[in-house]
A = this chain, B = another copy of it.
Amino acid sequence: MLLLMATAFSQSVADYDLWLSYQKISDTELVNKYRAQTNDIAFMGNSETIIVAKEELRLGLGNMLGNSSVIMNADPNSADLIVGTKDQLHTTIQNRLAKDLEQVGEEGFVIKALVQKGKNALVLTANTDIAILYGVFRLLELMGQHQSLDKINLVDAPKIDLRMLNHWDNLDRTVERGYAGASIWNWQKLPEYIDQRYIDYARANASIGINAVSLTNVNANALILTPMYLEKVQALANVFRPYGIKVYLTARFSAPIEIGGLDTADPLDQNVQQWWDKKAAEIYGLIPDFGGFLVKANSEGQPGPQNYDRNHVDGANMMAKALQPHDGNVIWRAFVYSEHDADDRAKQAYSEFVPYDGQFMDNVLVQTKNGAIDFQPREPFHPMFGAMPKTSQIIEFQITQEYLGFSTHLVFLPKLFEEVLDSDTYRKGKGSTVAKAIDGSLYDKKMTGMVGVANIGSDLNWTGHPFAQANWYGFGRLAWNPYLDAETIADEWLRLTYSNENAFVNPMKELLIDSREAVVNYMNPLGLHHIFDTGHHYGPGPWVSELGRPEWNPTYYHNADVNGIGFDRTTKGSNAVAQYAEPLRLLWNDPKTTPEKYLLWFHHLPWDYVLEDGNTLWDGIALKYQEGVNQVAEMISTWKKMKPYVSEEQHREVKMLLNIQLKEAKWWRDACLLYFQTFSNKDLPKGVEKPTQSLDYFKSLKFPFAPGIRPQWD
C-alpha cells in the first residue's frame, strides 16, 4: 500500500525550478574558488536587459555559493569579474578581446580569464546587452556544472538566427498536443496581471538562447489579432523584451473575413492586402519589435490562398509585404497534404513547395517539419532540406511528445534532433548535413531558424514529466548550436537539474541517450510509422482503417497483409525516394542498402524477408518490440539506484512515471504484435513475452478524454 507523507510544500514544487535551481555547491574548496572569482563584480550598464542579468547573477551566486552580499559595482580596475559590453571595457581589455568580439556578432559573448595589472580577473563581454545576459546564464551554468573558470576562454555565438518555440495554445487555455496542463497564457487576466510564470518562462528561454516565441496555435483563431487580445499580447511582449525574446502570432489566413468584415481573404485582392498592411501597422504600434506571423495555410482544413486559386507564394508574399516595412517576418509552414491528392502524403510538401524556390520574399521563412510525415518517433529527414537553396528554410521539431508517449514516457529528444541534424542530404555532395542546410553554411541564407513545438503547460513542473524539461533545454541548446552532441546536452542538463555526482550523471546519461531508441523499438520499430490510435494519438491503433481520408489511417502507412508489411516508396511504389539526392535515392530504393531503421518506411517486404542479423522480418519486428520493453525495464532498474542523488519526492515521481511507461510499452508490443500476427500467421519468436490480453481487448480501448485533442470550436 502506498504510504503517503506530509512533506514540505517547497519540496513539492522543486521541479518548478527547471535547470535554474542554482543548487548550493557543497564542495567548499570549489565554493571558495568561485567566491574569490566573483566576489567583487564590476557589472556595467543599466538597460532593462542588464538589470535582469545582474539580478540573475546575484540570484545564481547567492544560491550556489551562499553568497548573499555580492557586490556589483566594484571598481573595474580591481574587480574579480568584469561584465560589460565592448564599449564599456577599459581600452586595454577591449584591445585584447577585439578579435574575439568580432567573431561573436550580435548575440555571442566572450568569457575569458585574464591577468590584469598582475591580478586575475574574469571578463564577460559582448557586443550587445542581450549577449551579456546570455553570457551571464552561461557562466552560471558552467558553475552549476562545477567547471573550473581558472583558464576559461570561451568564445561562443549562436549558429542559427531564429531560435523559436511554437506554442499550440488556444485562447481557451487548452493546448493542442499539450500534456502538461493548461496553457501558461492566462488571457483572461492579461494585460494587467503578469503571472510570475511569464517571467520565469522568459528566464528559462533566455538561459538557453531562445529568442522568439509564437504564442498561439497554428490552427489559429483570428480573435488573437483583435485589439482586445493585442493589448494582452503587448503585455507579454513587454515581459519578454528584456530577455531578448520576440513575440510572433499565428495569423489565420481568413482573418480579414472573420474579424475584418471583408468578404474575401484573396491575397491578390487590394482590400485584403490593405487590411493586412493596416493590421501589421496596428500591431507594430503596440509592439515595435514584434516578430511577425506564423501561418498554417491550406493544411488540414485551415484556410489559405488556395481557397482563392492562389498559391503559397501569393499568400506568403502578401503577408510579407505587410510586415516588411516593420522588419517583420512571415513564417510559412510547409506541412501540407491534400485530401484531393492521391499521391503518397510523404511526397506532397516537397512536390508543392520545391518549385517555389526563389519566389518567396526575403522575409518569408519556410518552416518544414523534420520528417515528411509528422513528428514520428523516427523518420528519415524531410527531403526538402537542402532542396530549396534560394529559400530561407527553417526546421520544425516537436518537443511536445504527441507521438512519443505524451508526458508519461521518458524520452530524451535531443537524440532524435541530433539524428536529423546529422543526416546527410548529399545536396552538395557528401557532408551536406541537415544542420548545414539549416544554419546557412550549405547555401547562403537571408535568415536561419530552428523551431520547436513547446511542451510547456501550467503543471508545477512545466512539462508534465520532469525529464521532459530536458527536451526543452536540449532543443534550445541545439538551436544555438546544431552541432552539439546529445551526450553533452544530457550531461549539462543532469548536472544543472539534479546532481553533479558522477555516480548519478554517468548512468543517467546512458539512460537518457538510450531512451529514444527504446521508444522507437516499442512503438514503431524498423521504419514503421503513424500506427497510433486516431485523433489523440495515445497508444497503438494499427487496425484503424475507416477514417474519412486514406492518409489518416494507420493501415495506409503499415500496409500489412499476408504478403508482408511496409510502405513501398521505391521506384516501384510511390517513388518518394526520388525526392532525395543521390546516392540516397539509389541506396534507399533497395532494401538491402536501406538502413534497417528506415526499412519499412521505404519498403513493403515479406514476413520472411531476412534481416541483417539473420532473423526473419516477423521475428525481427517482434524482437524489437520486446527489446523496447526490456529497455524500459532497465531504465527502471537504473532509476532505482539513483535514490541517493535526488529527493524522495523526485525519486517517487519519476518511478511512478517509468512504471506507466513500462505498462504502455507492453501495451504497444502486445497490441501491435497481436494485430500484425493476424497477417503474418506466425508464432512469436523465443524471448518475446506472450500478450496477457486479446486483440479485441486492445481494440476496445477508448480514450475520449485523452489530453491534447483539438478543441471542438476549431
A17 to chain B, nearest CB (A): 4
A6 contacts partner chain B, Cβ-Cβ < 8 Å: yes
> Which of A182-190, A304-312, A509-517, A567-575 lies at the binding interface?
A182-190
Report how many residues on chain A are interfacial, defined by Cβ distance under 8 Å. 67
A705's partner among B52, B171, B242 (CB-CB below 8 A) is: B171
A182-B182, A458-B182 as given contacts; A2 in contact with B239, CB under 8 Å = yes
- Cβ A196 vs Cβ B653 within 8 A: yes
A683 contacts partner chain B, Cβ-Cβ < 8 Å: no
Tally of this chain's copies: 2
* Closest chain B residue, CB of each to CB of A653: B196
- Cβ A5 vs Cβ B705 within 8 A: no
Residues of B within 8 A of A13 (CB): 10, 13, 16, 460
A389 contacts partner chain B, Cβ-Cβ < 8 Å: no
Residues of B within 8 A of A656 (CB): 192-194
A581 to chain B, nearest CB (A): 42
Within 8 A of B (CB), among A667-692: none
A9 contacts partner chain B, Cβ-Cβ < 8 Å: yes
Residues of B within 8 A of A355 (CB): none
- Cβ B458 vs Cβ A188 within 8 A: no
A659 contacts partner chain B, Cβ-Cβ < 8 Å: yes
A4's partner among B52, B458, B663 (CB-CB below 8 A) is: B52
A55 contacts partner chain B, Cβ-Cβ < 8 Å: yes
A406's partner among B187, B188, B406, B704 (CB-CB below 8 A) is: B188
* Closest chain B residue, CB of each to CB of A15: B196
A56 contacts partner chain B, Cβ-Cβ < 8 Å: yes
A4-B663 Cα distance, complex, nearest whole Å: 45
A9-B16, A458-B181, A460-B460 as given contacts; A408 in contact with B59, CB under 8 Å = no
Interface string of A147-175 (1 = CB under 8 A from B): 00000000000000000000000011110
A21 contacts partner chain B, Cβ-Cβ < 8 Å: yes
A697 contacts partner chain B, Cβ-Cβ < 8 Å: no
Residues of B within 8 A of A3 (CB): 48, 51
Residues of B within 8 A of A549 (CB): none
- Tell me which of A7, A11, A52, A63 has the highest count of chain B C-beta atoms within 10 A of its own C-beta: A7
A223 contacts partner chain B, Cβ-Cβ < 8 Å: yes
- Cβ B16 vs Cβ A192 within 8 A: no
A174-B706 Cα distance, complex, nearest whole Å: 12
What is the interface of chain A, defined by CB distance below 8 A to chain B? 1-13, 16-18, 20-21, 48, 51-52, 55-56, 59, 63, 171-174, 179, 181-182, 186-189, 192-194, 196-197, 199-200, 203, 223, 238-239, 242, 406-408, 458-460, 649, 653, 656-657, 659-660, 663, 704-707, 712-713
Return 8 A-B CB contacts under 8 Å, by A number: A2-B239, A4-B239, A5-B55, A12-B196, A179-B188, A181-B186, A458-B460, A712-B713
What are the 4 tightest A-B residue pairs by CB atom distance, in nearest-first order? A6-B55, A182-B182, A12-B196, A171-B705
